[in-house]
């Protein structure tokens, strides 16, 4: 990122103050509807939970027109997402804690859960945002309440559970880029008060918003997905409940258009006389004129694919009046295939394929107390078995091959370096380079956890949480080749087999936990302070291609978190204000280290970093018709000590990726009753993100930008139908959601967010 633009940050603080003071000054108060969450495995008011948590209910999701996990971040302070393979593979950042490695061997430091089931691998996440009751976002280390230990936080999707009330709805919509969509659900009682069923589904098709100007090429970054879920709720008695859920989804969009910029005349391709600048006439590459930001000339139109199947059984059983047992058994199976035209040009310079099949079995069993006394607890055991079959392929200069001197790992050598370009040998005689690897990984997670509370007084509560984790991983059937187009034995330059690996298994064991104190004031405000330790297990480098030493293992990362917070309700609960401040001591962060000279990729640990920040969230209802929500996040990240060994780059003083110093969101909902016919609902939301980097080198990133969305809907008085018009990215801003520094080749690689889109939808309730 060559230049960082600074936005007048005072305007953000002014917006929060105006929203607050404007709400306080009203003569009448209108109570805000209570938000009930299960962030602590109990049904609690959001305002009674002594942790930093944001919640979006089903009505919020509808008004915001959220379709994917990537869109949630704009509504949550200090949460960001990056999209290395489009929105079907989000990398979530929470308070500066993120994942830079996109290999399936890794587990994200921010966990994704669906109905309390951990979805670690991107191959099993799939399509989630349909028929959802709410989304809960927890910031900070997790582990004493949740199945998987994490350093960054957790995002929980809670889907709608069947009840015995007949209900059904159908939503149909059309919009920009030939958008067509449908979503609906049906619920009924099969056996009165004993067995209920709910069936839900979603389907969306949208043409790619990145126009492919190459003759015969499909437009890029389309949407083509469906998801379905059926759930049964069995309640034969007051003390027993069983919920069986089956779901499946499939997403097959065209791959993203790669936007290249920051061209470097000394890069590999320009040095050989090949133009790469997408904004200039490139007749030799089939280009006729300059390209706009959402116009591309791509020779590759392959489809990304994410396909999932899932089965889970949740049992809640009251052992006594004070103890209850919960068992969550789950099976997930999924696969993803992510092909990219990584050069962004109409030649086969750099094509990349990532693929994985993943299977996961998991069991989470716990006992929850409900004593009348001062002490209560949740104690549980967690077990998960994950099996992954993965393969990665990088095709390098298949249309125009690069000849290296023999010092390069591509050929071996004497140190003279680059000597020129030549046409690719169609028989793959070593001039065209292909990197390929395949492997199986088996990972077993075991844990025991305890979360306990003790009321020191009627207003002061002590929280103690403890977790023991054991993570075991095995790498099997590893093969890697570096060679020509067809990877034949005759043109193989280097190869790695399983028996050559220096490390192929490891076991990590760690204690983590939480110590907290909260105080409820006489007016009901909650003040809390806590210390938490987070843990993320080690991992193998899934990007090893050249030498056995490349297939390395990194150490676990740990995080010590110190947090204080306030949750308060004012003016008869017409205004809610929540604030949190935190300080992180972050050790051994796992990052991907790319050698620009050879494109070798290594997984390494950064010794230590420091993170500190603040989050402010406000909900106000100054009139009966108007509801305002605002969030402000400030974060400061700095690497204290760390080195990228491949290029001997000292990272000290660098910022962590996906961590803008300031981020802000504001939404307003206004309801206007139209006689006896119904209500007109006006919604607008806007969010601003400060400039930030996309890598720990601080060489690529995104300047500050605003995004604003709106929705106008009419809801019939009898609630039988709703008609809505919506628009997203009203100002048609161009912004980057992910970047990679490919300056050794001559450019930076970027994914862009969606341009302005509009649509109309109608919901019918039966």
- Separation of alpha carbons 518 and 65, rounded Å: 36
Token representation of residue 702: 């995104």
Contact 534, 473 (CB under 8 A): no
Asked, for residue 4, whether it belongs to a domain, the answer is: no
C-alpha to C-alpha distance for 298 and 292, rounded to whole angstroms? 14
Residue 15 lies in a domain: yes
Alpha helices (runs of H) in 157-275, residue ranges in sequence order: 268-271
Distance CA 504, CA 440 (A): 11
Three-state DSSP class for residue 559? strand
Q: Token digits for 518? A: 């909260």
Could you tell me if residue 710 is inside a domain?
Answer: yes
Residue 558 CB coordination number (10 Å) = 18
pLDDT digits (tens, 9 = 90+) for 649-658: 899 999 999 9
Over range 681-689, report the average pLDDT: 95
Could you tell me which residue, 550 or 723, shows the higher pLDDT?
Answer: 723
The residues, any chain, with a CB within 8 Å of residue 439's CB and separated by 6 or more, are 389, 390, 391, 475, 476, 477, 478, 479, 542
Residue 12: what are its φ and ψ, rounded to 5°? Answer: -70, -45
How far apart CA 105 and CA 102 sit, in angstroms, is 9
Judged against a pLDDT cut of 90, whether residue 272 lies above it is answered with no
Helix (H, G, I), strand (E, B) or coil at 720: coil
Determine the 3-state secondary structure of 654 from DSSP.
coil
Q: Kindly state the average pLDDT of the residues 147-170.
A: 92
Task: Answer whether residue 67 shows pLDDT above 80.
Answer: no
**Distance between CA atoms of 756 and 766, rounded to whole angstroms?**
33
Kindly state whether residue 40 falls inside one of the protein's structural domains. Answer: yes
Which CATH number is 693's domain given? Answer: 2.40.170.20
Residue 276 pLDDT greater than 60, yes or no: no
Q: What is the DSSP letter of 333?
A: E
Highest average pLDDT, of 196-205, 275-284, 291-300, comes from 196-205
Q: Tens of pLDDT along 5-20?
A: 433 444 444 444 444 4
> How many angstroms from the chain centroid is the CA of residue 307?
17
Could you tell me if residue 204 is inside a domain? yes
- The string over 255-282, giving b where at least 16 C-beta atoms fall within 10 Å of a residue's C-beta and e elsewhere, is bbbbbbbbbbeebbbbbbebbbbbeeeb
Overall domain count for the chain: 1
Per-residue model confidence as pLDDT tens digits over 362-374: 999 999 999 999 9
Report yes or no: 88 and 336 within 8 Å, Cβ to Cβ: yes
Q: What is the pLDDT of residue 492?
A: 73
Residues contacting residue 373 through CB under 8 Å, at least 6 positions apart: none
Has residue 603 got a pLDDT over 70? yes
Token pair, residue 749, equals 């690689």
Least confident among 84-93, 222-231, 693-702: 84-93
* Residue 289 pLDDT grade (very low, low, confident, very high; cuts 50, 70, 90): low
End-to-end Cα, the chain, rounded Å: 53
Q: What CA–CA distances, in Å, run from 166 to 187, 721, 764?
A: 6, 16, 14
- CA dist 92 and 79 (Å) reads 7
Beta strand 44-45 with 36-37: parallel, antiparallel or unpaired? Answer: antiparallel
pLDDT more than 90, % of the chain = 58
- Helix, strand or coil for residue 312? strand
Tally the C-alpha atoms within 13 A of residue 285's C-alpha that lie toward its C-beta: 28
Within a domain: 1: no
* Owner of token pair 């900070």: 140
Of 481, 386, 476, nearest to 439 (Cα)? 476
Whole-Å CA distances, 76 to 47, 92, 139, 263: 16, 12, 10, 34
How confident is the model at residue 279, as a pLDDT? 52
Kindly tell me if the per-residue pLDDT of 616 is higher than 90: yes
Query: How wide is the angle at C-alpha 233 spanned by C-alphas 228 and 236, nearest 5°?
Result: 165
In a domain, 2, yes or no: no
Per-residue burial over 433-468, b if 16 or more Cβ lie within 10 Å, else e, is bbbbbebebebebebebbbbbeeeeeeebebebbbb
Q: Are 487 and 450 in contact (CB under 8 A)?
A: no
Residue 510: which domain range?
Answer: 10-765
The answer on pLDDT for 424 being more than 90 is no
Distances (CA, A) of 241 to 192, 616, 766: 14, 38, 27
The pairing of strands 110-114 and 117-118 is antiparallel
Q: Do 244 and 327 meet the contact criterion of CB atoms below 8 Å apart?
A: no
% of residues, the chain, pLDDT over 70: 87
Higher pLDDT: 170 or 34? It is 170
- Say if strands 179-191 and 167-175 run parallel, antiparallel, or are unpaired: antiparallel
What integer is the mean pLDDT of 143-148?
80
pLDDT value at 113 more than 80 = yes
Q: Is the pLDDT of residue 419 over 80?
A: no
User: Given this model, what pLDDT does residue 100 score?
Assistant: 79
pLDDT of residue 431: 55
Mean pLDDT estimate for the chain: 85
Give the C-alpha separation, 584 to 612, whole Å: 6
Question: Does residue 183 lie within any of the structural domains?
Answer: yes
The pLDDT score that the predictor gives to residue 408 is 42
Its sign, for the CA torsion 395, 399, 403, 404, is negative
Is residue 437 pLDDT above 90, yes or no? yes
How many degrees, rounded to 5, is the angle at CA 651 between CA 646 and CA 654? 140
Q: Is the pLDDT of residue 269 over 80?
A: no
């Amino acid at each position: 990122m060559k230049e960082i633009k600074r936005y007048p940050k005072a305007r953000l603080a002014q917006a929060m103050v105006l929203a607050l003071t404007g709400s306080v000054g009203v003569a009448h108060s209108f109570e805000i509807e209570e938000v009930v969450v299960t962030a602590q495995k109990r049904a609690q008011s959001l305002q009674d939970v002594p942790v930093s948590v944001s919640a979006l209910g089903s009505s919020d999701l509808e008004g915001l027109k959220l379709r994917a996990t990537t869109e949630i971040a704009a509504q949550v302070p200090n949460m960001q997402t990056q999209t290395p393979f489009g929105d079907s593979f989000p990398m979530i950042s929470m308070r500066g804690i993120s994942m830079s490695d996109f290999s399936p061997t890794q587990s994200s430091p921010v966990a994704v859960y669906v109905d309390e089931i951990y979805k670690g691998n991107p191959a099993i996440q799939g399509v989630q945002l349909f028929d959802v009751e709410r989304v809960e976002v927890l910031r900070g280390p997790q582990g004493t309440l949740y199945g998987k230990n994490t350093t960054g936080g957790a995002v929980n999707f809670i889907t709608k559970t069947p009840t015995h009330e007949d209900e059904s709805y159908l939503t149909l919509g059309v919009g920009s880029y030939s958008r067509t969509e449908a979503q609906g659900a049906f619920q009924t009682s099969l056996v009165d008060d004993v067995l209920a069923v709910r069936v839900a589904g979603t389907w969306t098709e949208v043409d790619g918003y990145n126009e492919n100007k190459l003759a015969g090429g499909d437009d890029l970054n389309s949407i083509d997905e469906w998801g379905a879920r059926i759930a049964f709720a069995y309640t034969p008695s007051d003390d027993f409940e069983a919920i069986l859920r089956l779901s499946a989804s499939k997403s097959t969009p065209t791959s993203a258009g790669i936007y290249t910029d920051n061209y470097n005349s000394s890069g590999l391709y320009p040095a050989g006389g090949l133009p790469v600048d997408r904004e200039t006439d490139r007749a030799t590459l089939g280009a006729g004129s300059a390209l706009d930001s959402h116009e591309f000339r791509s020779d590759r139109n392959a489809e990304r694919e994410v396909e999932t199947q899932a089965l889970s059984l949740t049992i809640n059983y009251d052992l006594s009046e004070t103890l209850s047992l919960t068992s969550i058994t789950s099976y997930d199976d999924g696969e993803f295939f992510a092909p990219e035209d990584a050069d962004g040009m109409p030649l086969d310079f750099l094509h990349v394929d990532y693929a994985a099949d993943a299977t996961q079995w998991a069991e989470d069993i716990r006992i929850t107390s409900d004593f009348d006394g001062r002490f209560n607890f949740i104690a549980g055991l967690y077990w998960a078995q994950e099996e992954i079959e993965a393969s990665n392929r990088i095709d390098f200069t298949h249309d125009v091959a690069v000849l290296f001197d023999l010092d390069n790992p591509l050929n071996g050598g004497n140190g003279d370096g680059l000597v020129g370009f030549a046409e690719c040998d169609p028989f793959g005689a070593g001039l065209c380079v292909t990197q390929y690897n395949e492997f199986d990984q088996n990972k077993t997670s075991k844990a025991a956890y305890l979360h306990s509370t003790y009321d020191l007084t009627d207003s002061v509560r002590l929280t103690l949480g403890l977790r023991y984790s054991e993570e075991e991983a095995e790498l099997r059937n590893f093969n890697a080749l570096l060679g020509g187009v067809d990877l034949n034995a005759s043109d193989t330059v280097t190869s790695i087999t399983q028996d050559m690996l220096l490390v192929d298994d490891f076991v990590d064991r760690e204690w983590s936990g939480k110590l907290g104190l909260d105080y409820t004031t006489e007016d009901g405000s909650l003040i809390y302070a806590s210390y938490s330790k987070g843990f993320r297990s080690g991992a193998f480098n899934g990007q090893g291609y050249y030498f056995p030493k490349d297939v390395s293992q990194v150490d676990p990362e740990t995080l010590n978190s110190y947090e204080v917070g306030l949750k308060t309700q004012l003016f008869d609960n017409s205004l809610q204000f929540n604030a949190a401040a935190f300080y992180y001591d972050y050790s051994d962060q796992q990052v991907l280290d790319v050698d620009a000279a050879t494109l070798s990729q290594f997984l390494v640990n950064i010794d230590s970093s420091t993170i500190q920040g603040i989050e402010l969230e406000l909900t106000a209802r100054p009139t009966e018709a108007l509801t305002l929500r605002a969030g402000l996040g400030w974060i400061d990240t700095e690497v204290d000590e760390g080195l990228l060994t491949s290029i001997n780059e000292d990272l000290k003083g660098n910022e962590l990726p996906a961590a803008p110093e300031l981020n802000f969101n504001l939404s307003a909902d206004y309801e206007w009753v139209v006689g006896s016919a119904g209500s007109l609902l006006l919604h607008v939301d806007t969010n601003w993100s400060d400039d930030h980097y996309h890598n720990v080198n601080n060489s690529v990133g995104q300047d500050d930008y605003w995004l604003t969305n709106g929705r106008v809907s009419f809801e019939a008085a009898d609630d039988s139908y709703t008609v809505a018009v919506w628009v997203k990215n009203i100002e048609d801003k161009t912004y980057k959601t992910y970047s990679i520094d490919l300056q050794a080749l001559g450019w930076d690689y970027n994914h862009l967010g969606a341009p302005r889109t509009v649509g109309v939808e109608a919901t019918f309730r039966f």
